[in-house]
Structure 1
Amino acid sequence: MSEAWRQLGTPRAGGTLLIADHASNHVPGDIDLGIDRALLTNHIAIDIGVAEVAARLVEGGAVDGAILGGVSRLVVDCNRDEDAPGVLPIASDGHAVPGNALDDSAREARLARFFRPYHDHIAATIAAHRPAMILSLHSFTPALAAHPDRARPWHVGVLYNEDDRLASGAIAALAAEGLNVGDQLPYSGKLLNATMNRHAEANDIPYVGIEMRQDLVGDAVGQALFAERLARMCRKVALNIGA
């Protein structure tokens, strides 16, 4: 294990690997973000419900292994390119993060401590146990504080970039669960897909990005229900691999 990542289950060659960039709200004690600590339970700090749903998927056997980000997305956003401004966010949904206004040396140290070990571990895992498919798991807030008039009605979103081999199957499987499914919503994988671009598309591994609406996975009942839905989805889309 590492402070940069946490692993569940045992990744298996030919299996399903789950990757969750924003599954933790942990801020190491030696890092001061300069924010109200109450914000660490907010969507700007963590993808609510993701760690719990991931654990249920591993425990139920729907995925073989899961790699979860070890620190809050406010410490480092691992679903960004390393040179992207937002990799160390100085603001999120109207909240300033003054502790991330770092000089080049401190920025380099933050990336070397968290960002690179996280991605290095994913790369090493894929090289040693190449999965048949990757499930990228995130969650989204029903409405951004900065745009309260723009409600997000979708229960779940399916994201992808150039590789859409599993997307249509995932959308159909989730729609069959009675869910309001956003195809490239509430945002597009064409624009925000850094981890999957790097580890799935670059390795020609089929994948699907899933965004769960946070109010639906905020408690144990919702997390269990979503894990069951995603397990069924995984079984269905796996049939499309190599078809």
Structure 2
Amino acid sequence: MVDNGRAAAVNEAFRQFGMPAPGGIVLVADHASNHVPDDIDLRIRGRLLGVHIAVDIGTAEIAEILARDHAIPAHIAAVSRLVCDFNREETAPGLVPDISDGHPIPGNVGADREGRLGRFHRPYHDALAEWLAAAEPALILSLHSFTARLATSDAARPWQVGVLYNQDDRAARIAIPMLEAEGLNVGDNLPYSGRDLNYTMNRHAEACGRPYFGIEIRQDLAQTPEDHTHWAALLADIAQRVASALA
């Protein structure tokens, strides 16, 4: 049972809202925070912490509503992806990025990568592994959001929502037509492919045979409290129907 959406566990690297129930639905949000610890100086302008290079806008708020109002517990990041990107392999260059969408991150040049792994990345994933093993959920929902246009590209990203997956597309194939039936322009492994960027779900879902699908919400549609409430209700309904179809 979810404890009214309050954080059941808090760590420097992650927060957990609610307690997963065996056979239920859980949510994971790797990029839900723009927090930078006081002892880390990224040497960037403060305004950059409010844009997509630092945080998946709207995901923390949606995750908390899902936990509080829809009984879908959430494991979410507590530091910015610019500090440590949890959705990257330990060896990936972008795990501690020195540039993001054309913006230099000077404070990450020569950073103690092993220190960031030990302080943030490993605790985040170790806790997630333990959390999931205790419940063995019927479905994992991976929540992200994306910018409508990258600074380093002229290509428009018209999709209102994307569904991402790698090899295991069981849940994604059910979710895509459900979202389309809501009148949404849905990206099938777009705006980027889950076959390329899917570390957290590859490790905790695909490798364990757990059904999942990734959701990417366009950030201009996830700005306000009304937006957050809307998406939480829609995703709760879709996730529940997908889990029932998989049963």
TM norm. shorter chain > 0.5: yes
Partner of 1:222: 227
In 2, distance between residues paired with 1:235 and 1:177? 15
Q: How does 1:229-240 map to 2 (within 5 A)?
A: 229-240=234-245
One-letter amino acid of the counterpart of residue 156, structure 2: A
Partner of 1:184: 189
> Cα deviation per residue 1:126-153 (whole Å; 9 max; x = unaligned)?
1211111100000000000111x21110
Q: How does 1:3-82 map to 2 (within 5 A)?
A: 3-63=12-72, 65-82=73-90
> Cα deviation per residue 1:2-42 (whole Å; 9 max; x = unaligned)?
11000111111111110000000000000001111110001
Checking the alignment, whether the CA contact within 8 Å between 2:70 and 2:233 is kept in structure 1 is: no
Unpaired runs of 5+ residues, structure 1, are none
Checking the alignment, whether the CA contact within 8 Å between 2:25 and 2:240 is kept in structure 1 is: no
One-letter amino acid of the counterpart of residue 202, structure 2: N
Identify the match of residue 93 of structure 1 among 90, 101, 116: 101
3-state SS, counterpart of residue 170 of structure 2 = coil
- Report the Cα offset of residue 239 of structure 1: 1.7
3-state SS, counterpart of residue 18 of structure 1 = strand
3-state SS, counterpart of residue 177 of structure 1 = coil
In 2, distance between residues paired with 1:232 and 1:178? 15
One-letter amino acid of the counterpart of residue 115, structure 2: A
- Report the Cα offset of residue 62 of structure 1: 4.8
- Report the Cα offset of residue 61 of structure 1: 2.0
Q: How does 1:193-212 map to 2 (within 5 A)?
A: 193-212=198-217
In 1, distance between residues paired with 2:173 and 2:38? 43
Identity %: 58
Identify the match of residue 112 of structure 1 among 118, 126, 130: 118
Provide TM-score, normalisation by structure 1. 0.96
Unpaired runs of 5+ residues, structure 2, are 1-9
Superposition RMSD in Å: 0.9
Partner of 2:130: 124
Provide TM-score, normalisation by structure 2. 0.94
Structure 1 ranges of 4+ moved more than 2 A: none
One-letter amino acid of the counterpart of residue 134, structure 1: I
In 1, distance between residues paired with 2:91 and 2:58? 28
2:11 equivalent to 1:2: yes
3-state SS, counterpart of residue 166 of structure 1 = helix
In 1, distance between residues paired with 2:231 and 2:180? 13
